[in-house]
Homo-oligomer: A and B are copies of this chain.
Amino acid sequence: MPTVKIGLLGLGHVGSAVADALRVNGNHFAVRTGAIPIITRVAVKHLHKPRRVTVDPDLLTDDTWRVVRDPSVDVIVEAIGGVEPAASYLTEALSRGKHVVTANKQVVSARGNELTQLAGAVGRVFAYEASVGAALPVIRVFKSHLVGDRVTEITAVINGTSNFILSQMELGRPFATALAEAQARGLAEPDPADDVTGRDAAAKLAILIRLAFDAAATAQTIVHRGIDTVSPEDVARARSDGKRIRLLAVARRTNGTLAAGVFPASVPREHPLAQLDDEENGLLVRSDLAGELFIRGRGAGGVPTSSAILGDLASTVNSTSNGSPAVLKEVEILPLLTFDREQAAAYAEVDGR
């Protein structure tokens, strides 16, 4: 079976989760895609830092250029963040004929168009599903699904840290405690100011605007307000009005103009975006053919992000595959004719708290 040799940039929350996911689900991935994924090099900032994840120390290097230029590497998976030097690394990787998979919303929002063009020119994949909404297939929905649709509106919750903090504030916890908890869980950005000022959501919205409306946008072109403007009193008042404050990212097309913004809003409890708890993200899209489409799931954290990265990795391996293994398992399918009450109760608890 052929292999796909991966050069991993970064071994923080996301990079570690990718290494873990490939160790645990590597065989599964190989059966499904027809190629064995192997991490052949890992670029880190500090070689001797103690780490949670066990990676063969021989793979580690603190020379990122060496990974990007290694002729044996087929795909660069980038999980370091920031516009530079990430953009230079990814440009070099694509120019050398490597596929690129990235979780970095800053580089995609600032330089995504140029990297997409370069990838097209060299016939390689530039994939960034993990850059918005972690485990939610929000990029794929625009790139591969709503291709023939005209999108009229996007309303989304795409900053997991803000949603987590707001959910905690609803339980009476102070802002600072909730933020510290989000950081401890690996949900927050390295600089949490990006999360709480709405800047992170604006960068992600810029990416969605490019895909949904074929329009040039960057984080700087989108006016944003963050949850740092929300007081405990605001949260309590919304609650007593049957609403929840959520950080919305909205883009709307009307007669050839586009209106967009990121802001905290008081959303009626019945609204699907008001039902997102903790670090959940949600995307509501309106388009002419599909009508209204809603997606909800885990929008932050290393493990959900690794799910999207493995999906992107599969797209680099096997673009002609029809996405099914050659041999299907012959399993006995037991009849199931009841909806188990404990499970229904568990869902109700999750959604009704």
- A145 at the A/B interface (Cβ < 8 Å)? yes
Q: Which B residue sits closest to A315, measured CB to CB?
A: B144
Q: Which B residue sits closest to A295, measured CB to CB?
A: B295
CB within 8 A of A147: which of B314, B331, B333?
B314
Count of chain A residues with a beta carbon within 8 Å of a chain B beta carbon: 112
Where chain A touches its partner, the secondary structure class is mixed
**Judging by beta carbons under 8 Å apart, are A291 and B304 in contact?**
yes
**Judging by beta carbons under 8 Å apart, are A337 and B261 in contact?**
yes
CB within 8 A of A333: which of B149, B221, B225, B325?
B221
How far does the alpha carbon of A8 sit from the alpha carbon of B348 in the complex, in Å? Answer: 45
Contacts of A135 in B (CB 8 A): 289-291, 293
Q: Shortest distance in angstroms between A291's beta carbon and chain B's nearest beta carbon? A: 4
**Judging by beta carbons under 8 Å apart, are B272 and A116 in contact?**
no
Which of A54-62, A161-169, A263-271 makes up part of the contact surface? A263-271
Most buried by B among A147, A214, A251: A147
In chain A, residues 284-317, which have Cβ atoms closer than 8 Å to a Cβ of chain B?
Answer: 287-298, 303-304, 306-311, 313-315
Contacts of A148 in B (CB 8 A): 21-22, 25, 28-29, 32, 306-307, 309-311, 313-314
Q: Shortest distance in angstroms between A167's beta carbon and chain B's nearest beta carbon? A: 16
How far does the alpha carbon of A344 sit from the alpha carbon of B22 in the complex, in Å? Answer: 42
